[in-house]
A and B are shown apart, each in its own frame.
Chain A
């Protein structure tokens, strides 16, 4: 039975191959989270990637999408299957750092290219960097470094800082502290998936802080902000984009208004690529794109630009074309550092309401041409 299925698949692949003889599309496997609590992020990544292919009108990519359910073991299996039975030569799509760590080293060791549209764990940016891994989003620490830097700009002296107790949460607080020059009124690790923040809010109330830095992505941030709004504590909040991205803003509601959050992109950025992207995304899906969507859109265009310049069968040439990053990024300027992570600007955004829809607007710049600290440990030139 299995043999027959395989034989059939082979036959259909052959038939397909005969049909498009001139340039076979390269199979790109998109592994992302489409079910469970984190599905909103993955849906944005998938939708933006498909939109980019559609807008480019290119048939250079054959896209295969699969749901990892936010489980590392699923992601590993899907990656194996995509490479072995679907012949994927490029993989992308993973949202979460723990899933990326499970998939990326194994995949890149097989000379398959992995392009990250979101996760940027430090282990892959420093000594663990590899020529087959490209990060088209950010290195995890940098978003929070930008928040620390901008907290100085805003004159905050005494911050209460908080993140979930898992590697990305530790990276977040480390990143913030690396640039923040004031003192800490408190440093709290919450539980991953925590839904009730009353105990932490009571501590904030008693701490004497003049500001709060939080990294609570997804549902945790929604819960925290809704409870914070009811608590009567009224300190300014600064954060990285994840906690105040377009995917969660409608659920947080007006409690998010005025919050400063840092990111390398914002829907109001006034460059040609971004204006076209935001308009097309709204037209196609009836909602504003999130930062995850923007990163995924760039990832797709980056891959397309490299495929146009080089044949992937010559891996060395293809990697060189990827490193050139010759595409119109929705972030304006975009280039890779030696560790194949971006060197880019980081902006401070404020949550505002435009025609009744909550969104982000750029209010300042935290860093220009900022590179992650781990790049120095990467052996690549």
Chain B
């Protein structure tokens, strides 16, 4: 094992973590501001990828596809908020889980009806193909771009929440819903905007990742599970927590998949070692979550301490 390989794996973990952050940011915002558990967040990721692939396929331009993917996810988010979510804010969390699970099924089948049952093709834009030499190792340019995009969005989100009027309202909404409504803020509109923002971030993640993944029905659910792990680790409702949690999960998952089989290979034969290592690596992030919950039951950065 060389330094080059470790460095490359660290970058891979970073990139995976930043994409997880795009997913978790929306999820944690919606939970923090509205107290809503949205299982259909993964479907918005899928919608972003499908509309990006379809638009890029039609126009031949990835960037138009990216815009279309984000816009479609945001629009779907706003529509879902107005038609379904509004009825759920005062309901029990279990009712929310039930309703948003139904949304997963409806959106998956709807996507299949609209785009067909076969996976779609979405290519990396020509500008970002190939590899760059990072000294230690060549690295895919597109993955590097994903890292930059992830950091950019995180910075933008930090500015939005910390420095703008909308951000003040979002933070106020997290702290005391009734009070800001009493102060004359249109809480209904705020909820729609926050939900659409979260949806747009999920759509962006879907579209970005769609270029190096299979764009297919059900692609959002595996990411959704990890996004929930991320926000539980980070502290539900905390954007900062989502960032730290996402990077932790991304790096630990990637490193675990790569290092654990090698550790097992020290005392098992290669075939058994790779099986056992892969099995342990797949539960590593959940072990991490359990450990953090034991030490800090409300996550690393609890919002309502």
Contacts and interface: CB of A to CB of B under 8 A. Distances in A.
A230 B12 contact: no
In this complex, the interface size class of chain B, counting residues with CB under 8 Å from chain A, is 35 or more
In this complex, the interface size class of chain A, counting residues with CB under 8 Å from chain B, is 35 or more
B258 A203 contact: yes
Contacts of A189: 261, 274-275, 277-279
A165 B279 contact: yes
Decide if the interface of chain B is mainly helix, strand, loop or mixed: helix
Contacts of B16: 196, 198
Interface stretch (A1-9, A34-42, A372-380): A34-42
B214 interface: yes
A221 B214 CA distance: 8
Interface string B261-286: 10000000011001101110110000
Contacts of B270: 184, 187
A62 interface: no
B117 A34 contact: yes
A30 to B, nearest CB: 16
Given A37-B219, A230-B143, A203 B5 contact: yes
Contacts of A188: 261, 274, 278
Given A165-B275, A188-B278, A196 B213 contact: yes
Contact of A199 (B12, B109, B275): B12
Contact of A220 (B137, B214, B271, B277): B214
A165 B281 CA distance: 11
Interface in A24-63: 34-37, 39-40, 42-43
Decide if the interface of chain A is mainly helix, strand, loop or mixed: helix
A306 interface: no
Nearest to B211: A226
B99 interface: no
B184 interface: no
B26 to A, nearest CB: 19
Interface in A181-208: 184, 187-191, 193, 195-196, 198-200, 202-203, 205-206
A170 interface: yes
A223 B108 contact: no
Given A251-B118, A251-B121, A191 B278 contact: yes
B116 to A, nearest CB: 8
A19 interface: no
B2 A206 contact: yes
A219 B131 contact: no
25 contacts: A34-B117, A37-B219, A39-B112, A40-B119, A189-B261, A189-B278, A191-B278, A195-B209, A196-B16, A196-B213, A202-B12, A202-B258, A206-B5, A218-B216, A226-B213, A230-B141, A231-B131, A232-B138, A248-B214, A250-B118, A250-B121, A251-B121, A251-B215, A252-B121, A253-B123
Given A226-B212, A226-B213, A248-B119, 17 more contacts: A35-B217, A37-B216, A37-B219, A189-B275, A189-B278, A189-B279, A190-B257, A195-B214, A205-B137, A218-B216, A222-B214, A227-B213, A230-B131, A251-B118, A251-B120, A251-B214, A253-B121
